Amino acid sequence: MSDETSLGPGREFDLVRVMMSRWGDRARGIGDDATVLSVPTGEQLVVSTDASLEDVHFRRAWLAPAEIGWRATAAALSDLAAMAATPLGILIALTLSERWLDDLGELAEGIAESASAAGASIVGGDLTRGEQLAITITVLGSTAAPMRRDGAHPGDILWVTGQLGGPALAIAAWNEGRQPTPEARARFARPVPRIREAQWLARAGASAGIDISDGLGGDAAHLAAASGVRIAIDADALPRAPGADVSTAQRSGEEYELLVTTRSPLDAAAFQREFNLSLTRIGTVEQGDPGVDLLIGGERVASPTGYDHFSP
């Protein structure tokens, strides 16, 4: 945590010590103004930054502090998965409000668990006092061949990992004053960035890829726009979480599953065996105005395009 790790006095240092004692050797290289890292020879650096704020991305009543830390970190790491990159490390900019001070250790633990599970060390950060809990994670990775959004071509096949709808079901339950099912809750509280799965898909010939953060409809639209293609999604083929209807499955955001296109069919059974995760063919890439159609009972309907944190 740059300056704050040196032996200065003050409460900020005490707070950093709480985190460092949790992290142990899951943190490294912290203590100078900046962190020095090596990018493997022949590979390029892949970077992204992602903020998670209380009452924007989660509510305190919904999650344990360790889950909040895990989720913020997993969300950021998913951007490395979307590029089929291998994680190198993460930097954490943490803004703490007074009422979160006692939860700092648990937050830090969740962050470290999530980073560790993805093979990323904690390599730096910044700690600030503020009005609202904010966890901003910058992820650093590398790859010789990044998977991008703009490589889809007409005739390609569209695939998705896992089952969709769990996070939306969990949020709906909480908003209605109910407890979500354990399965739906886990999909929201402990999402898994599909790091190794993305590398498998890239090796298997993925022409384009994106992670599902805005919802299948929205992210398919991003991929379609970047590639200049039209995407047709077969509603009947969507792999749905238990209890999720088609609308929920295609709107549900923060899934962190992968949406990829390939020129040729994939061995979905081999993928399932390796990762214990489904890989489902859900549509096709077509020529046409960039956008997404949902095919429901043979009929085309324009797909809604996800949600927007700035909308009411």
Tell me the number of residues near a copy of itself by CB under 8 A: 78
How far is residue 25 CA from its own chain's centroid?
Answer: 24
**Rounded distance between C-alpha atoms, residue 164 and residue 248, angstroms:** 8
Which DSSP state fits 192?
A: -
Q: Which is nearer to a copy of itself, 62 or 307 (CB)?
A: 307
Q: Which is nearer to a copy of itself, 37 or 186 (CB)?
A: 37
Interface with a copy of itself includes 106 (CB under 8 A)? no
User: What is the CB-side half-sphere exposure of residue 94 using CA atoms within 13 A?
Assistant: 29
Q: Which is nearer to a copy of itself, 50 or 257 (CB)?
A: 50
Return the residues of window 255-294 that contact a copy of itself according to CB under 8 A.
290
Q: Write the single-letter amino acid at 182.
A: P
Nearest distance, CB of residue 127 and a copy of itself, angstroms:
8
- Per CB under 8 A, the list member of 71, 222, 240, 251 interacting with a copy of itself is 222
Nearest distance, CB of residue 75 and a copy of itself, angstroms:
10
Interface with a copy of itself includes 197 (CB under 8 A)? no
Question: Phi, psi at residue 230, to the nearest 5°?
Answer: -105, 140
**Rounded distance between C-alpha atoms, residue 204 and residue 198, angstroms:** 10
**Rounded distance between C-alpha atoms, residue 42 and residue 37, angstroms:** 15
- Per CB under 8 A, the list member of 25, 176, 299, 308 interacting with a copy of itself is 308
Nearest distance, CB of residue 209 and a copy of itself, angstroms:
8
- Strand duo 291-296 + 230-234: pairing: parallel
Residue with structure tokens 């924007």?
56
**Helix or strand or coil: residue 134?**
strand
Return the residues of window 5-24 that contact a copy of itself according to CB under 8 A.
6-13, 15
Query: Across the beta sheet with 157-161, what order do the strands follow?
Result: 206-211, 258-262, 157-161, 279-286, 230-234, 291-296, 299-302
Interface with a copy of itself includes 244 (CB under 8 A)? no
Q: Which is nearer to a copy of itself, 180 or 209 (CB)?
A: 209
Residue with structure tokens 């923060």?
254
Interface with a copy of itself includes 148 (CB under 8 A)? yes
Distances (CA, A) of 163 to 12, 46, 307: 42, 27, 19
If one counts every other C-beta atom within 10 angstroms of the C-beta of residue 122, the result is 26
Helix axes of 195-203 and 268-275: crossing angle, nearest 10 degrees: 150
Return the residues of window 66-105 that contact a copy of itself according to CB under 8 A.
78-80, 82-83, 85, 91-93, 95
Q: Which is nearer to a copy of itself, 79 or 103 (CB)?
A: 79
Interface with a copy of itself includes 302 (CB under 8 A)? no
Interface with a copy of itself includes 229 (CB under 8 A)? no
Q: Which is nearer to a copy of itself, 206 or 210 (CB)?
A: 210
DSSP string, 211-245: E-SS-HHHHHHHHHHHHT-EEEEEGGG--B-TT--
Q: Which is nearer to a copy of itself, 149 or 185 (CB)?
A: 149
- Per CB under 8 A, the list member of 22, 149, 187, 240 interacting with a copy of itself is 149
- Per CB under 8 A, the list member of 109, 197, 211, 254 interacting with a copy of itself is 211
Return the residues of window 108-147 that contact a copy of itself according to CB under 8 A.
123-126, 128-132, 134, 136, 138-141, 146
Interface with a copy of itself includes 165 (CB under 8 A)? no
Nearest distance, CB of residue 84 and a copy of itself, angstroms:
10
